[in-house]
Each structure stands twice: as structure tokens, then as C-alpha cells.
A and B are shown apart, each in its own frame.
Chain A
Amino acid sequence: RKEVEQDPGPFNVPEGATVAFNCTYSNSASQSFFWYRQDCRKEPKLLMSVYSSGNEDGRFTAQLNRASQYISLLIRDSKLSDSATYLCVVNDDNQGGKLIFGQGTELSVKP
């Protein structure tokens, strides 16, 4: 079983649509959770951390369900500039531990 699993997409949506990405992770002892964004041939950039209580940053909402080992990202009112690959990332050790990346979900927002 993959450590972090995501639907690779691509998700093709019109501007203004709401789109949701899901991710599952295999290690129930995982400590921290993130969504990163990666543009083509660029470095991953942190979009947001994910907490059990859920968190929102503008049009982006992230949720964590520890019991189901499931992480989600919701993007509302999608913009052309949201087109990118969204990486689900898990850290098993908060003491400077490595990040474990999912394959990424590709999003393409069309006019």
C-alpha cells in the first residue's frame, strides 16, 4: 500500500467551480499534514497545513480525519491561476522528520 495516495486526475474544471481533492495515508502515527502546490517544473510550495479541527484560508479549506486516515482540500470559486498539481504531504515525525509526498493531483482550470 502506498504511504500517501491521491487521485492523479487530471481534474478539468471551469472557472468559478468548486473542486475537492482527497488523500489517504497509511501510517496511523503520522504527526502532521500539509497540502503543497507544485507548478510545472517548479518546487513544491506550502499551500496550507491541515489540522483535525479543519482550517480555512480564503477559498481553500482543508480537513483531516485521523480515524479514517483521510485528508481533503476544497477549492471554491476556482481561478485560472489555481491550475497546478496539488500534493498531499505527511510528516511522521515532528522532530525534523522527512516529508512523505503523494503523487499529486493535477488541476486544470479553464476559462
Chain B
Amino acid sequence: EPEVTQTPSHQVTQMGQEVILRCVPISNHLYFYWYRQILGQKVEFLVSFYNNEISEKSEIFDDQFSVERPDGSNFTLKIRSTKLEDSAMYFCASTGQSQETQYFGPGTRLLVL
């Protein structure tokens, strides 16, 4: 069964450093998403991406965040200068033409020290 994959599974970084989180969505999917979940809190939407551009972003997704689809398979989330409050689990998701169901990757646990 096809699945969304994410790397790395865990990332520890110092405050102020840049991190890039990587995702490989399901191969024939067209819509891509990043969500985050701070420990003990609900899953929150960050950004959606379609047709090589951002279709929607939340208030959380400020100038420190960017997304890219550098090739036909990868979808990345970059945080330019990490803050302590960026510590969270980051989930990538994708959905196909029917847009019915979003499938989530296993997540990257980011810890900013």
C-alpha cells in the first residue's frame, strides 16, 4: 500500500539554526500539506501546496517558514531560524484528485534547544 514517508524521524537543533524537513508524498497525489502538533495539543494546519504554489497558509506559517517541491517526488518544509516554540511533531500529508482523504506521514519530531 502506498504511503507518505518523512525524514528524519527525529531532529534536534539549536535555537536560531535552519532545519529542513523532508517528505515524499504518495506518488500520484496532487495536494500536499504540512501540519504540526505541539506535545499535548491538537494537530494544527500550517500550509497547503498545489500546482507548485502555496494554496493556503495559517497564521503560524510566517516568514520563517517556506515550502518547496524541488523535484517530482520530494516536498520540503524549511524553518529558517528555529525558535524554542517550534518544537513539535511535524506531519506531512497528501491527497489525490478526489481530495477525499488526506494521508499522513509518520512525522518528524523536532526539538529546538
Binding site for B on A (CB under 8 A): 32, 34, 38, 41-46, 49, 87, 94-104
Contacts and interface: CB of A to CB of B under 8 A. Distances in A.
Given A95-B99, A96-B95, A98-B56, A41 B42 contact: no
Given A43-B91, A96-B48, A104 B42 contact: yes
A99 B44 CA distance: 8
Contacts of B99: 94-97
Interface of B: 30-31, 33, 35, 41-45, 48, 50, 55-56, 58, 89, 91, 93, 95, 99-107, 109
Nearest to B49: A96
A11 B41 CA distance: 18
A47 B45 CA distance: 19
B91 A100 contact: no
Contacts of A94: 99
A32 B98 CA distance: 13
